[in-house]
Amino acid sequence: MTLPTIGKVLKARYQIVQSLGAGVFGQTYIAVDVDHPRNPKCVVKQLKVSSSLPSYIETLRLRFLTETETLIQLGHHSQIPELIACFEEDERFYLVQEFIEGHSLSAELPVQRDLNYLWSEGEVISFLEDVLNILEFIHARGVIHCDLKPENLIRRISDNKLVLIDFGSIQPIDFGIDAELPIYRIPVTSLGYIPPEQFIGQTKPNSDIYALGMIAIQALTGLTPLQLKIDPESNEIIWRSKETVVSDYLAAIISQMICYDHNQRFQSAPEVLQVLQQIPAEARKPTVIQPNYSAFYEDLIENERESSSSKPSILTGIKFGLAANSLVMGLGVYSLVQNSPGYVGKEAVYKATEEFQSGDLDRAVALMRSIPNSSKVYSEAQNTIDEWENEWKIAAKQYQAAETALNQKKWSEAIQAANLIPDILYWQSKSDKLVEQAKAKIETQTQNLLNKAYKQAESKNFGTALEYLSQIPAENSTGSLVQQKLAEYKQKRDIRSVHLLQQAYNQAEKKRFDIALKFLRQVPKNSSAYPTAQVKLMEYEEKQGSQTTKDNSVSSKVSSKFSSKIESLQPEESVPQKSTTQFNHFQPGDFLQEINI
């Protein structure tokens, strides 16, 4: 896949200014709209194209146009980026979306079991309701996000609301006829948030609900999905412990959101919202309700008995067995959950994926090969082995290239090589350290070059200042400032060049060609006046030469007359030697005033 380079302008309008990295569906960039007076930022995504066959391209084109119509409709929601444009260029397909200024939710989530950073129950409820309202909107339009994770939820600066980005609604475009999600193409950051059924092509609207529940667990526990344990008998995730401060009500809701069997989960976003809205107002306060297992168990049984009551239960919609399961999960007791035949072998796939991502390729391959050929995922697992081995070789090669570039002080090359490392957690974690070092060096280099540019600009040497700015690596964190200074110094360089050219004209008019030439030689290269300055440079050098020849001719005449005058003053033989000696001490300047040229 041919990728746009930094600075390239797509569709004669969208100039690429920064790469945001690659994902399952393609490469993503930040661009500026050069056709707009304010040059606003936007997000450009180039979709992956896996074949150059005309039939494939035509099929892809039709599906691309169909799917983008859906994205246009989704953009009507205030918490979903607007689709600005979609176009094809050189048989490459691009989406242009609204740029959301803010930070990802991953910046807000706790990274460890630290009570000072864990979210309160009220915060989790508010978060769930906020995102569920977005999911209700997209599911009603026949779209499943398919990649809900903290990195795809942006906290917008303007109003502090969460915005859902990077939709997987265009997933079929890249996956072709087979709707199953290839394991080897799962982004590292998506692992743990993707539910089991999504691996075997049975994605449901409540697959997004599963992912949302996993994020809520991370907020409450400080543990990422891959850090959580799975019960070997029920396949349910063990997330609640004595250290987890959460009420029984909310714990039961979340547990049903992340149930292994999608048939046992909430079936829709409105269903979860309805249950959340029945939670007492005091539970929404920052102060978290302490767990009371026995009281919850008694209330639950009582609610089941009072099913005929007109007042809905707080846990309406939550199946008793599952609620009880979440109730005692922290005590090590589990309810029975039937394993679907379609999931045979999925446990091995999960474990193999974890081993692969953690760095044990041999163990991962062995687990994949242990899957029986009767399993629905057998064929996919065998194909994945080849893909993993190939990805591993590429990762090792790119890491070595990045390490070599870093040792050679080629910081940009090190980052570029690291960016080409496939989504393997083991290799990416290793390369992150290299990238961090390279970026630190680039920042130091950038600051030094900026200081040099500022110093030259103060001396009005804008051409030299621009040379320093052009040496700043594209991977620097002050890209907008560099671009701003480039534009500013180019303008000032052109103004300065015109000024120097005018000074040269003024001096030439007074026949002071030597001074005029000095001004012309100061006109910076690449400036607007530089071509004219070069023409005038040749012209004035020629005129200066003619003037020098003329001056030499006049000087010759002066010298001749001066010599004649000297000869007329030579002493006769009768003049005493003493007088002759006196004439030997004359100064030529003593007689210049007598010479009339």
Task: Describe the strand order of the beta sheet including 41-47 as a list of residue ranges.
Answer: 9-10, 14-22, 26-33, 41-47, 92-98, 83-89
Q: Is 492 annotated as a binding residue?
A: no
147 catalytic? Reply is yes
Q: Which of 33, 35, 114, 147 is catalytic?
A: 147
Smallest Cα–Cα separation from 362: which of 426, 423, 421?
Answer: 426
Q: How far is CA 195 from CA 150, 213, 325, 483, in A?
A: 15, 11, 19, 43
Dihedral angle computed from the Cα positions of residues 172, 176, 178 and 179, in that order, rounded to the nearest 10 degrees? -10
Tokens of 216: 């809520």
Tokens of 77: 């929601």
At CB < 8 A and 24+ separation, what contacts does 82-85 make?
84/42, 85/11, 85/14
Smallest Cα–Cα separation from 94: which of 139, 155, 34, 49?
Answer: 49
Question: Do the beta carbons of residue 502 and residue 523 sit within 8 Å?
Answer: no
Helix (H, G, I), strand (E, B) or coil at 560: helix
User: For the chain, how big is the Rg over CA atoms in Å?
Assistant: 38
Which residue type sits at 93? F
d(CA 168, CA 524): 51
b/e burial code for range 228-246 (CB count within 10 A of at least 16 → b): beeeeebbbbebbeeebbb
d(CA 373, CA 578): 130
Tokens of 226: 């891959």
Binding residues for ATP: 45
Question: Could you give the residue numbers annotated as active site?
Answer: 147
Binding residues: 45
